A and B are shown apart, each in its own frame.
Chain A
Amino acid sequence: MYRFPAGVYTDVRIEDVFETQIVVTLGEVEQLKDKRFVAAFVRLFDGQRWFYSATTDVEHLQQEIDSLAAMATPNPHIDDDEIVRKLEANREERLIFAGDDDVSKISKEVKYRLLADYFPLVAGQDFVATWTGNYIDQRVVKTFVSSKGADLKFDYQRVGIWIGFSLADGEKKLTESFNRGATRLRDLEGLDGEIAKRYREAVRFLQEAVDVVPGAYATVLSPLAAGVFAHESFGHKSESDFMLGDEAMQQEWQIGKVVGSPLLSILDDGNEMGTGYTPFDDEGTRARKTCLIDKGVLAGRLHNGATAANLHEPLTGNGRAISFEFEPIVRMTTTYIDRGDLKFDELLAPIREGILVKTIKHGSGMSTFTIAPSLAYMIRDGKVAEPVRISVVSGNVFKTLGEIDGLTDEVELLAFARGGCGKMEQYPLPVGFGGPWVRIRSLDVQ
C-alpha cells in the first residue's frame, strides 16, 4: 500500500484495460488486434490546488505521489476541507464481468466470426460502393484507493459493432451505418434483421429523398435523436462544474425553476447497464439516479466532489475521466427523457406537415442545440411520408424544452459501439442515452 503524505488528500486510480479492435473494409482485414495494459492516475489536493499525474509506470506510484506532494503546500486542516469531507470512502469489490462474459477470455476468432456473419447483409448488395465492419470491446478493472480510506475494485465492459456503408446511384450518394453497443458479446448476436432493415431504408433514402424546403416545422425525434437532444440541450447544462464560483449561474439555475414543458422529465443514472454504466465514479463515489428535470421543473444537477462541496449539494457519482490520462470532471452517465403516455400513431396524428428525425450524424448544444439528421422524413397529415435531406435541425434550448408537447409511452435506452460524449479535451466518453419518441411544436429545419 502507499504512504499517503500528511497534510494533503491523495487518491490513486489504477486501470487494468483489455481492448479488442477488428476492422474489415471491402472484405479485407485491416485491423485484428487486442491488447492489455495497466496505467494509473494520481490526484493530490492541498486545499488550494489539485495536482495530478498520469503515468504508465505503475511500479513506481509512490514516487509519483511523493513528487506531487513536493509541489503542494501541506495543510494541517486538510481533513476539514469541504471537498475532502464530501468525498466518499467506499470499500467494496464489484466485478460483474469476470465470468464467461469477460471479453478478455473470448478469442479474437469468435469475435471476428460474429462480425463477419453480418457482412453479406451489405457486401455486394445493390448500390453499395464501399463498406466497413468494425468490432470493438473493452473491459476495464479499476482499483481506487484514497488517503481517506476508500478501497474499491470494480469493472465495466463495453462491446459493439459498427457497419458503415456508402451507397452510390449515379450522382446520388449516401453514407449510413448501423451502430450497436452493449455490455456482453452475446447481446450482439441476432442483429441480422435490424442491419438488413437499415440497409433497405438507406437505399430508399438514396433513391427517393428530396431536399427539404427550409423553414420551421413541428418535429418528431426518434428515441436516438431525443436522447441526443436531452444530452446536448440540457445534460451538459446540468454538469455543475460550470457553476463553480459563478454567482450569476447559481442564481440562474436555482432548483425549482421551471425550465421546460410539464411533460418533460430528464434523468441520469450510472446504475443503468449499458455504455454509461458507472457503478463508482473516478473519485470513488457510488452511482446515483439523479432527476435533473421533474415535470418541467429543475430538480437536480450532476456533481463531483468539488462542485457538490461548493454548491452544498449531495454527491451524484458523476466525476468521470475518459481514461487514465485525465482527471475526473463532471460528466453524464446514462441520461434519458422519461416516458409519456402516447402511442406512436397518436404522437404523429395532429401534425399536418412536419419532420421526423430518425437517425443522426451528430448533435451539439449551447444556447442553440443542433441535430444533423442522417435519415429523416416528412410527416404529412399524421403519417410518415417521403424521405428528406436535411443539413441541420436547430432551436433555442429553452424555447424548445418548453415546446415539447408529446411523448410516447416507452423509453428506449441506447448504447453505441463508437463515439461518445465530448467535453473540452476529454473525448470520447462512453455514455448511454435515450428516451421515447418526442414531439416538439416547432424547430428550424435547413
Chain B
Amino acid sequence: MNKEQYTQQVRELSLNVVQTRVDSIRKKEILRTGMRVYEGGLIGVAGALGRYDEGELTQRAISALEQEIPYPYQLAVGRKEVVEPAHDLPEGAQFVDEMQQMLAELGQAQPEFSFSNKINLRTQTVQLVNDLGLDLSYRGTSIEVGLLIKEKKSANIMDAFAAYEGWRYDRAEFLRLANMVCDAFRRPVEIEEGTYPVLFFSGDGTYQGKLAESLHGQLYATGGSLFAGQMGRRLFADNLTVYESRSWQDSVIGPFFDAEGTVNDSYRCTLIRNGVLVAVRTDKKNAAKYGLPLTGSACGEYDSVPTLGNPQRDLPSLQIASTGKTMKELLDGGTGILVWIASGGDFTPDGHFATPVQLAYLFDGEKLLGRLPELSVSSHLYDMLGRDLIGVSSDSLTSLSKSDVIAMSMKVSRAV
C-alpha cells in the first residue's frame, strides 16, 4: 500500500470596497487535507477540513478502497521541489492602510466615478507528498484587485473595471491603469460596422472556451471534440502556439504540479505548436486508456480522486505564445478594438462564435483612445485562430501581471 497526502491551505485578508472606501475586512484561514491510499490498482481517498487526526484520516482512506475505484497507474516518485514566487506585497495592517490610501487617491483623481468590490491578499500553500519520495510544495502570496467602476451618473450596476491578479503591487502603476480606464470611458467614440482588428486579453475565457473544450483528451479520443482525428495536422495559423501553463512566470496563481503530481518542463506543456495540434490534455488515466502523451492536466478537489475533469467546466490555464510583436506593432500604426467586457457570448457546436461586447475601447496599441458603443463581434474558431489571426503581443497593458493581447480580425456590428 502506498500513501499520499494532498494539502491545501489558504490564508486570506479580504477588503470589501463600497463607494470607494473599505467597508469591511474579512480574514480567512482554511486547511484542507486529502489522504490517498493506493493498493492493488485501486485508490481510496478521504478528506478533512481543519484539524484532523492523521491515523483516523488514513483509516477512512483505507476504508474507501472498498469502493473499488481503479487507479492502476504509476504514482509520481522521487521528485522534491519547492516553488515560492517572490512578491512585494504589504501584509496585515500595512495592506489595509495601503489600499485605503490607494482608494483615497483614486477617488480624488476620478470624482465622477465610484469604485467597489474586493481587494484580496492571499497566501496559498499546496503540498503533495507520498511515501515514494515525492515532495512537491508551492507557496504563493498574491494580490487580487478587482475594482468595479461605476460612473456616478450612470444607471448601470457597473460600467467598467480595473483588475489584476499577481505577485506585484505598485500603487502608481495601478492608479495609472485605473485612471486610463476611467479617462477613456469619458471619451465616447464611434466606428462604422465592418471588419476590424479585435483584441482580447489572451487569457480571456470568452474566446478560449471552445478551444479548451476541444483540447480535452477524453472528448478528443472518443470523437466528441471539434478536433477529433486531427492530431498532427495544421488547424490554425503558422504562428499560433498554445500551451497549458502552471508557471508563475505566466501569472498563473497556483501550484506548478497537477493533482497527480505530474510536473512538466518549465511547468508548461505545448498543445498546439505553430498551428499544428500536437497534444490534447490528459491525466494518467486518459493517457493510458487512449495511448496519448501525459500532459499533467489532472485536477480535483482536495478529497477527490484526481481526474481530467469536465471539458466545459474544469478549464485549464491556456496560454497563447507571443508572436513577437508589440501591441503597437500588431496594429501596424492603426487602431483596433480592445474588448474590456464581453459577457454572455458562446460558440455553436461547430465553432461559430458570437458575443456581445458590453465595453470596448478604441486602442492604438499604447493608449485607450475612447469608449466605443456596445458592439457584437462574431467569427469562427478556425478563422479567429487561423487566417484572421493577427498575432499575440509581446508586451502587456500593465506591468503588474501578464496582460498580453491576442489580435484577430473579426466582424463587428452595433448591438441591437
**Can you name 17 A-B residue pairings with CB atoms under 8 Å?**
A23-B307, A26-B222, A49-B22, A50-B16, A55-B29, A174-B349, A211-B352, A216-B416, A252-B155, A365-B344, A366-B343, A367-B156, A372-B345, A391-B348, A394-B356, A394-B416, A395-B416
A220 to B378 CA separation, bound complex (whole angstroms)? 23
Q: Which B residues touch A395, using CB under 8 A?
A: 416
B 10-28 to A, binary, CB cutoff 8 A, 1 in contact else 0: 0000001011001111111
Question: Which single member of A33, A172, A369 contacts B64 (CB below 8 Å)?
Answer: A33
Q: Identify the stretch in A180-188, A237-245, A337-345 within 8 Å (CB) of chain B at 4 or more residues.
A: A237-245
**Cross-chain contact A391 with B310 (CB below 8 angstroms):** no
Q: Which B residues touch A53, using CB under 8 A?
A: 26-28
B415 closest partner in A (C-beta): A368
Question: Which single member of B158, B222, B341, B416 contacts A166 (CB below 8 Å)?
Answer: B222
**Cross-chain contact B23 with A175 (CB below 8 angstroms):** no
Query: Is A39 located at the chain interface by the 8 A CB criterion?
Result: yes
Instruction: List A379-433 residues whose CB lies under 8 Å from chain B.
Output: 389-392, 394-396, 424-425
Q: Which A residues touch B51, using CB under 8 A?
A: 56-57
Question: Which single member of B26, B155, B307 contacts A249 (CB below 8 Å)?
Answer: B155
**Cross-chain contact B156 with A366 (CB below 8 angstroms):** yes
Query: Is B266 located at the chain interface by the 8 A CB criterion?
Result: no
Q: Identify the stretch in B75-83, B196-204, B223-231, B362-370 within 8 Å (CB) of chain A at 4 or more residues.
A: B223-231
A252 to B155 CA separation, bound complex (whole angstroms)? 6
**Cross-chain contact B344 with A368 (CB below 8 angstroms):** yes
A23 to B301 CA separation, bound complex (whole angstroms)? 13
Binding site for A on B (CB under 8 A): 16, 18-19, 22-31, 45, 47-51, 64, 67-70, 114, 117-118, 146, 150, 152-158, 213, 218-219, 222-226, 228, 303-305, 307, 310-312, 341, 343-350, 352-356, 358, 374, 376, 378, 415-416
**Cross-chain contact B349 with A368 (CB below 8 angstroms):** no
**Cross-chain contact A132 with B310 (CB below 8 angstroms):** yes
Query: Is A269 located at the chain interface by the 8 A CB criterion?
Result: no
Q: Which A residues touch B347, using CB under 8 A?
A: 391
Q: Which B residues touch A58, using CB under 8 A?
A: 50
**Cross-chain contact A25 with B415 (CB below 8 angstroms):** no
A425 to B354 CA separation, bound complex (whole angstroms)? 26
**Cross-chain contact B344 with A369 (CB below 8 angstroms):** yes
Task: Take A30-B69, A52-B26, A394-B416 as given contacts and tell me if A175 and B344 are in contact as well, using a CB distance cutoff of 8 Å.
Answer: no
**Cross-chain contact A248 with B154 (CB below 8 angstroms):** yes
**Cross-chain contact B354 with A32 (CB below 8 angstroms):** no
A395 closest partner in B (C-beta): B416
**Cross-chain contact A248 with B118 (CB below 8 angstroms):** no
Closest 10 A/B residue pairs (Cβ): A370-B344, A56-B50, A166-B224, A50-B24, A391-B354, A129-B224, A364-B344, A372-B346, A446-B354, A444-B416
Query: Is A51 located at the chain interface by the 8 A CB criterion?
Result: yes
What's the minimum C-beta distance from B402 to chain A, rounded to whole angstroms? 21
Q: Which B residues touch A363, using CB under 8 A?
A: 344
A32 to B146 CA separation, bound complex (whole angstroms)? 36
Q: Which A residues touch B155, using CB under 8 A?
A: 248-249, 252-253
What's the minimum C-beta distance from A418 to chain B, rounded to whole angstroms? 8
Task: Take A173-B226, A366-B358 as given contacts and tell me if A35 and B157 are in contact as well, using a CB distance cutoff of 8 Å.
Answer: no
**Cross-chain contact B224 with A391 (CB below 8 angstroms):** no
Task: Take A30-B69, A37-B50 as given contacts and tell me if A368 and B356 are in contact as well, using a CB distance cutoff of 8 Å.
Answer: yes
**Cross-chain contact A173 with B225 (CB below 8 angstroms):** yes
Q: Which A residues touch B353, using CB under 8 A?
A: 391
Query: Is A141 located at the chain interface by the 8 A CB criterion?
Result: no
A327 to B344 CA separation, bound complex (whole angstroms)? 27
**Cross-chain contact B344 with A372 (CB below 8 angstroms):** yes
**Cross-chain contact A389 with B349 (CB below 8 angstroms):** yes
A236 to B350 CA separation, bound complex (whole angstroms)? 32
**Cross-chain contact A52 with B24 (CB below 8 angstroms):** yes
**Cross-chain contact A444 with B224 (CB below 8 angstroms):** no
A55 closest partner in B (C-beta): B29
Query: Is A349 located at the chain interface by the 8 A CB criterion?
Result: no
Question: Which single member of B24, B27, B118, B218 contacts A425 (CB below 8 Å)?
Answer: B118
What's the minimum C-beta distance from B347 to chain A, rounded to whole angstroms? 6
What's the minimum C-beta distance from A18 to chain B, rounded to whole angstroms? 12
Question: Which single member of B24, B70, B157, B350 contacts A327 (CB below 8 Å)?
Answer: B24
B153 closest partner in A (C-beta): A248
A371 to B150 CA separation, bound complex (whole angstroms)? 24
Query: Is A92 located at the chain interface by the 8 A CB criterion?
Result: no
What's the minimum C-beta distance from A149 to chain B, rounded to whole angstroms? 23
**A interface residue count range (under 10 / 10 to 19 / 20 to 34 / 35 or more):** 35 or more
Task: Take A57-B51, A172-B350, A446-B354 as given contacts and tell me if A371 and B344 are in contact as well, using a CB distance cutoff of 8 Å.
Answer: yes
A362 to B313 CA separation, bound complex (whole angstroms)? 12
**Cross-chain contact B219 with A30 (CB below 8 angstroms):** no
Query: Is A194 located at the chain interface by the 8 A CB criterion?
Result: no
Q: Which A residues touch B152, using CB under 8 A?
A: 246, 248
Query: Is A95 located at the chain interface by the 8 A CB criterion?
Result: no
A51 to B26 CA separation, bound complex (whole angstroms)? 6
Kindly list 9 other residue pairs between chains A and B, CB separation below 8 angstroms, not including A25-B307, A53-B26, A57-B50: A49-B25, A53-B27, A54-B27, A56-B31, A366-B343, A372-B346, A396-B415, A443-B416, A444-B376
Instruction: List A356-378 residues whose CB lies under 8 Å from chain B.
Output: 361-372
**Cross-chain contact B47 with A130 (CB below 8 angstroms):** no
A58 to B50 CA separation, bound complex (whole angstroms)? 9
Q: Which B residues touch A442, using CB under 8 A?
A: 416
**Cross-chain contact B376 with A242 (CB below 8 angstroms):** no
Q: Which A residues touch B218, using CB under 8 A?
A: 25-26, 130
Question: Which single member of A56, A108, A130, A391 contacts B219 (CB below 8 Å)?
Answer: A130
Q: Which A residues touch B67, using CB under 8 A?
A: 29, 32, 108
**Cross-chain contact A392 with B50 (CB below 8 angstroms):** no
A59 closest partner in B (C-beta): B51
**Cross-chain contact B118 with A424 (CB below 8 angstroms):** yes
A343 to B31 CA separation, bound complex (whole angstroms)? 54
**Cross-chain contact B50 with A35 (CB below 8 angstroms):** no
A68 to B344 CA separation, bound complex (whole angstroms)? 40
A64 closest partner in B (C-beta): B27
Question: Which single member of A33, A108, A326, A392 contacts B45 (CB below 8 Å)?
Answer: A33
Q: Which A residues touch B343, using CB under 8 A?
A: 364, 366, 370
A54 to B152 CA separation, bound complex (whole angstroms)? 33
A30 to B222 CA separation, bound complex (whole angstroms)? 17
What's the minimum C-beta distance from B376 to chain A, rounded to whole angstroms? 6
Q: Which B residues touch A245, using CB under 8 A?
A: 18-19, 114
Query: Is A28 located at the chain interface by the 8 A CB criterion?
Result: yes
A446 to B380 CA separation, bound complex (whole angstroms)? 12
A39 to B29 CA separation, bound complex (whole angstroms)? 11
B30 closest partner in A (C-beta): A56
A395 to B416 CA separation, bound complex (whole angstroms)? 7
Instruction: List A17-71 residues whose CB lies under 8 Å from chain B.
Output: 21, 23, 25-26, 28-33, 35, 37, 39, 49-58, 71
A241 closest partner in B (C-beta): B18
Query: Is A272 located at the chain interface by the 8 A CB criterion?
Result: no
A245 to B114 CA separation, bound complex (whole angstroms)? 10
A49 to B17 CA separation, bound complex (whole angstroms)? 11
A394 to B343 CA separation, bound complex (whole angstroms)? 11
Q: Which B residues touch A175, using CB under 8 A?
A: 213, 224, 311-312, 349
Q: Which A residues touch B228, using CB under 8 A?
A: 168, 173
A258 to B69 CA separation, bound complex (whole angstroms)? 58
**Cross-chain contact A56 with B49 (CB below 8 angstroms):** yes
